[in-house]
Amino acid sequence: MMDKQETAKKTIFSGIQPSGTLTIGNYIGALRHFPELQETYNCIYCIVDEHAITVRQNPADLRRRCLELAAVYLASGIDPEKCIIYCQSHVSAHAELAWILNCFTYMGELQRMTQFKDKAAKHADNINAGLFTYPVLMAADILLYQADAVPVGADQKQHLEITRDIAQRFNSIYGDVFTVPEPLITKVGSRVMSLQDPTRKMSKSDPEECFISLLDEPDAVRRKIKRAMTDSDGEIRFDPENKPGVSNLLSIISTLTGEDMETICGEMAGKGYGDLKNRTSDAVIAALEPLQSEYKRLIADKQYLLDTLLSGAEKANSIAIRTLRKVQKKIGFAPRSLK
Ligand code: TYM
């Protein structure tokens, strides 16, 4: 049972797909906020393996990556005593609520989703129905836990909007069933760009040299940043529109060191891109070092990771099932008892 103080706390929910190496984009846009929030909120962090299979996965790799992501969550500072971390597929209410919400979501709404359009273009041989209804499963994830806020990168904003629309639509028919969640998207760092094409977001599905993995060794970090695309005018200035490459490196420094942009630009004034790149590499290496050493320790203990996920799933299930039962009752599914 939650005590009074805990119930008064707001709820945070977020998820990450176990579909490949996490990048510093995932870290800066989402993951680094997860441990910060655990001191003030009830936090629930999910490994969204059901979302991952909207793109074909190798079963052995998927199984391994779920445990790897659990290790990354813990290594980032998420404390399983304070938060719930678990695998989506271990809590069947996600799929059940998603089905129901599918019946409250319009084709036209889903057709407008840019992530669907992007992924459909990337995987033209496998435009499956799951890829299309992906945002509905995401809405189910969030609404099951009555989340007040959802920390995500800017690319998920549209999915948060449809989640809010679905929740409001449902509430307007059946009464106050769902909390309508707010997105938590920071100003700087919510869209880390590709190192090779800074007009596109950094993505784990792009070629290696476009992104920095959370597990990249320092020399790989330096090599990739050294080759990052900048521009030819040589001035260090934060101007995402005209100087996307330089601005991307500046944002990475600012978010990872906590220094504000003006201070960094002041310090870098008159210096060259080589200095900017060295400074970026130093910031990335310093931020990743503690995470990587914790990760190495944790990934060696698979049993601990699995136990943590299973006990997380039990706690998640007890919250999720309450919302699911309420929804089922509201829409008129057969009762489970006549009392
Ligand atoms: P996923 O796994 O693609 O990404 C995980 C998180 O990382 C953020 N992100 C970025 N942030 C800044 N710059 C980037 N280049 C960058 N790339 C990724 C994403 O915005 C995300 O916050 N649909 C979600 C997973 C999900 C979810 C949820 C999230 C499923 N259910 C419920 C929140 C709540 C996704 O694909 O994230």
Q: Which atom of ligand 1 is nearest to the CA of 154?
A: 20
Tokens standing for residue 140: 């189910």
Apex 207 CA angle, 116 and 47, nearest 5: 55
Decide: 319 in ligand 1 pocket, CB within 6 A: no
Whether the CB-CB separation of 28 and 189 falls below 8 Å is answered with yes
User: How much distance in Å is there from the Cα of 29 to the middle of ligand 1?
Assistant: 8
User: How much distance in Å is there from the Cα of 336 to the middle of ligand 1?
Assistant: 37
CA distance readout (Å), 210 to 11, 226, 247: 34, 12, 16
CATH 3.40.50.620 domain span(s) along the chain: 4-188+301-331
Q: Which residues of 299-330 are buried (b: 16+ CB within 10 A; e: fewer)?
A: beeeeebeebbeebbebbbebbeebbeebbee
pTM of the model: 0.96
CATH 1.10.240.10 domain span(s) along the chain: 215-295
Predicted confidence pLDDT, tens digits, the chain (339 residues)? 445 555 689 999 999 999 988 999 999 999 999 999 999 999 999 999 999 999 999 999 999 999 999 999 999 999 999 999 999 999 999 999 999 999 999 999 999 999 999 999 988 999 999 999 999 999 999 999 999 999 999 999 999 999 999 999 999 999 999 999 999 999 999 999 999 999 999 998 889 999 999 999 999 999 999 999 999 999 999 999 999 999 999 999 999 999 999 999 999 989 999 999 999 999 999 999 999 999 999 999 999 999 999 999 999 999 999 999 999 999 999 999 887
At 205 the pLDDT is: 85
Pocket-testing residue among 88, 115, 150, 156, ligand 1, by greatest number of atoms within 8 A of Cβ: 156
Q: What 8-state DSSP symbol labels residue 193?
A: B
Apex 87 CA angle, 82 and 92, nearest 5: 115
Decide: 25 in ligand 1 pocket, CB within 6 A: yes
Q: Please state, in angstroms and rounded to a whole number, the distance separating the CA atoms of residues 39 and 9.
A: 10
User: How much distance in Å is there from the Cα of 281 to the middle of ligand 1?
Assistant: 24
Decide: 94 in ligand 1 pocket, CB within 6 A: no
- What Rg, from alpha-carbon coordinates, does the chain have? 21
Torsion of CA 61, 66, 70, 73, to 10 degrees: 90
Decide: 12 in ligand 1 pocket, CB within 6 A: no
Decide: 51 in ligand 1 pocket, CB within 6 A: yes
At 227 the pLDDT is: 97
CATH code reported for the domain at 4-188+301-331: 3.40.50.620
| Residue nearest ligand 1's atom 16 by CA | 25
Pocket-testing residue among 12, 19, 24, 26, ligand 1, by greatest number of atoms within 8 A of Cβ: 26
For the chain, helix (H) and strand (E) counts, in that order, are 15, 5
Tokens standing for residue 171: 């509430």
Q: Cite the DSSP H helix spans in 2-147.
A: 4-8, 24-26, 33-37, 49-52, 59-75, 93-102, 107-111, 114-122, 129-144
Active site residues: 119, 201, 204
| Residue nearest ligand 1's atom 24 by CA | 16
At 339 the pLDDT is: 78
User: How much distance in Å is there from the Cα of 266 to the middle of ligand 1?
Assistant: 32
User: How much distance in Å is there from the Cα of 3 to the middle of ligand 1?
Assistant: 31
Place of tokens 């906590």: 258
CATH code reported for the domain at 215-295: 1.10.240.10
At 2 the pLDDT is: 46
Q: How much of the chain is in helix, strand and coil states, percent to nearest 5?
A: 55, 10, 35
Amino acid identity for residue 28 in this structure: I
According to DSSP, the residues that pair with 149 across neighbouring strands are 12, 182
